[in-house]
């Protein structure tokens, strides 16, 4: 029973392509996030959604478009992929009533842009 699951686990693609990463949580949480972990293992927040509504957008290029069809899902679509997009992308969720800092993470999607 995986709490936060994201697919695919690995994604290898060419520059200029468009790709999507999906995330689902079965914890009943109301807030979901996308984080990017670069090659130096630095974790940076990209987006936060609360009850399907975009709450935080951390000056991410508009080639990245998150979509939340319902509060249990948060997908990330990336257009015109660039070399610098290569990273591990983590989905996470939390319950705002608990203060938001107690995050549950997915296992990550390793994106490699060639």
Binding segment toward another protein, per CB under 8 A, in 16-24, 61-69, 77-85, 90-98: 90-98
Binder among 55, 67, 72, 86 for another protein (CB under 8 A): 55
Binder among 23, 34, 36, 50 for another protein (CB under 8 A): 50
Q: Is 72 in the site for another protein (CB under 8 A)?
A: no
CA separation, residue 58 to residues 14, 18, 35, 64 (Å) = 25, 21, 10, 11
Q: Considering the complex, state which of residue 48 and residue 75 has its C-beta at the smaller distance from another protein.
A: 48
Q: Is 93 in the site for another protein (CB under 8 A)?
A: no
Residue 35 C-beta-side C-alpha neighbours within 13 Å: 18
Binding segment toward another protein, per CB under 8 A, in 15-23, 36-44, 61-69, 74-82: 36-44
Radius of gyration of the chain (CA): 13
Residue the block writes with tokens 């999607």: 109
Distance in Å, CB of 113 to another protein, minimum: 23
**What is the number of helices (H) and of strands (E) in the chain?**
0, 11
């Amino acid at each position: 029973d995986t709490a936060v699951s994201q697919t695919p686990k690995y994604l290898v693609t060419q520059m200029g392509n468009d790709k999507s990463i999906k995330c689902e949580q079965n914890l009943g949480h109301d807030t979901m996030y996308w984080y990017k972990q670069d090659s130096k293992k630095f974790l940076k927040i990209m987006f936060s959604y609360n009850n399907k509504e975009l709450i935080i957008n951390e000056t991410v290029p508009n080639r990245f478009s998150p979509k939340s069809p319902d509060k249990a899902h948060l997908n990330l679509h990336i257009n015109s992929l660039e070399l610098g997009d290569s990273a591990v992308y983590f989905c996470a969720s939390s319950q705002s009533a608990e203060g938001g800092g107690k995050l549950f993470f997915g296992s990550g999607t390793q994106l490699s842009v060639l």
